[in-house]
Amino acid sequence: MRTITKSAIARSARTRATAAAATAALALSLAACGTDSDPAASGGSGDADAPLTVAASPTPHADILGFVKENLAEKAGLKLEIREFTDYVLPNTATENGEVDANYFQHKPYLDDVNAKQGTHLVPVTGVHLEPLGLYSSTLKKASELGAGDTVAVPNDTTNEGRALKLLDNHGLIELKDGAGQDATLSDIADAKGLEFKELEAAALPRSLDDVDAAVVNGNYAIEAGLEPAEDALALEEAEGNPYVNLLVVKEGGEDDPRVRKLADLLASEEVADFIEREYRGSVVAAADAS
């Protein structure tokens, strides 16, 4: 297992700060371009010859889309534009408003939670890959070294917090109450075994490793921080049967857009599965391998 250095996290923080600034500028430019009621808006045109604009997290989502764009899209007759976002809110907002045609960054439990809470009308088109959630530490070598008085940071959004607690429960680090499901919260912990918890926005979790004893980090943010989940995680989710496959998502009605169908077929292709295996070496798993 590699040592997770402060310099690696610091480099990640600088990179993410730059990306965040770019995202803020992008959000302003999207607003200026119009909404779903404006024909000039970049998304929702439905023109089979127009570029398909997809909002995506930088890693691995935009990287996977970049592979499709550079190697597969032209032959399939698809013009693909990729817009990167560093948070979990704006991509869904932009898709709902028609500012982009689709997004690719989230799993179904998160999507269902957003639709229920925000009243959005977003639907999955196809599953693409899984990023196993992992437990990381800059000081500990084994998960079993966690003990009473130690602090663990977890994601503060509903679905990923439940997912993080399930991971800790599965590895015997805490005990959840009987019946605690995917949306488990800290109040569902029957026995914390002396651990204390800090709830943070998912994007901030890699940076928290200097301030806590361990953190449960989403796969995309772990990779962006220079971590290799398959190698660096003290505990890692199983891929087989995992319900947290990341999806290509559109606003309801957009699933029949021929451009969306082309992209869905390309993302499910053997070429993309091979790219994921080659590029991420088990830290990201193609959806077909997680079923």
pTM: 0.76
CATH number at residue 113: 3.40.190.10
How much is the pLDDT for 20? Answer: 41
pLDDT band at 49 (very low <50, low <70, confident <90, very high): confident
Q: What is the Cα–Cα distance from 19 to 27, expressed in whole angstroms?
A: 12
How much is the pLDDT for 1? Answer: 58
Q: Provide the token pair at 199.
A: 């709830």
Q: Which of 201, 254, 181 is nearest to 89 (CA)?
A: 201
Domain that holds residue 167: 134-236
The predicted-structure confidence for 50-86, as pLDDT tens digits, reads as follows 999 999 999 999 999 999 999 999 999 999 999 999 9
How much is the pLDDT for 3? Answer: 55
Q: What is the Cα–Cα distance from 232 to 222, expressed in whole angstroms?
A: 10
β-bridge mates for residue 176, sequence order: 189
The total number of structural domains that make up the chain: 2
The answer on pLDDT for 8 being more than 60 is no
Domain stop point among 236, 255, 281: 236
Mean pLDDT of 153-162: 94
Domain stop point among 190, 213, 236: 236
How much is the pLDDT for 5? Answer: 52
Residue 51 domain flag = yes
Highest mean pLDDT among 10-19, 30-39, 156-165: 156-165
Mean pLDDT of 224-244: 93
For residues 232 and 251, state if they share a domain: no
Question: What order of strands is seen across the sheet that includes strand 285-286?
Answer: 80-84, 52-56, 102-107, 245-251, 122-130, 285-286
Q: What is the Cα–Cα distance from 221 to 248, expressed in whole angstroms?
A: 19
Q: Provide the token pair at 282.
A: 């088990």
For residues 138 and 124, state if they share a domain: no
**Residue at token pair 């496959």:** 245
Contact 218, 105 (CB under 8 A): no
The predicted-structure confidence for 257-274, as pLDDT tens digits, reads as follows 999 999 999 999 999 999
For residues 107 and 246, state if they share a domain: yes
The predicted-structure confidence for 97-116, as pLDDT tens digits, reads as follows 999 999 999 999 999 999 99
More confident residue, 13 or 1: 1
Give the DSSP letter of residue 60. Answer: I
Q: Which helix (H) or strand (E) holds 250?
A: strand 245-251
How much is the pLDDT for 291? Answer: 65
Residue 120 domain flag = yes
Q: Which of 214, 217, 69 is nearest to 143 (CA)?
A: 214
Residue 26 domain flag = no
Residue 18 domain flag = no
Q: What is the Cα–Cα distance from 82 to 94, expressed in whole angstroms?
A: 13
For residues 228 and 147, state if they share a domain: yes
For residues 161 and 226, state if they share a domain: yes
Contact 289, 129 (CB under 8 A): no
For residues 138 and 232, state if they share a domain: yes
Residue 225 domain flag = yes
Mean pLDDT of 91-98: 98
For residues 46 and 124, state if they share a domain: yes
For residues 229 and 256, state if they share a domain: no
DSSP assignments along 272-287, one per residue: HHHHHHHHHTTSSEEH
Residue 23 domain flag = no
For residues 259 and 286, state if they share a domain: yes
For residues 60 and 202, state if they share a domain: no
Q: What is the Cα–Cα distance from 154 to 188, expressed in whole angstroms?
A: 14
How much is the pLDDT for 120? Answer: 98
How much is the pLDDT for 168? Answer: 98
Mean residue pLDDT of the chain comes to 87
How much is the pLDDT for 47? Answer: 77
How much is the pLDDT for 289? Answer: 78
For residues 117 and 252, state if they share a domain: yes
Q: What is the Cα–Cα distance from 11 to 155, expressed in whole angstroms?
A: 21
Cα of first residue to Cα of last residue in the chain, in angstroms, is 27
Contact 121, 131 (CB under 8 A): no
Q: Provide the token pair at 225.
A: 């921080």
More confident residue, 87 or 22: 87
For residues 262 and 231, state if they share a domain: no
Mean pLDDT of 139-166: 96
Mean pLDDT of 29-43: 36
Residue 101 domain flag = yes
Residue 43 domain flag = yes
The answer on pLDDT for 22 being more than 80 is no
Q: Which amino acid is at 128?
A: V
Q: Which amino acid is at 157?
A: D
Report whether the peptide linkage leading into residue 60 is cis, meaning its omega lies within 30 degrees of zero. yes
| Contact residues for 240 (Cβ-Cβ < 8 A; gap 6+) | 290, 291
How much is the pLDDT for 37? Answer: 33
How much is the pLDDT for 240? Answer: 85
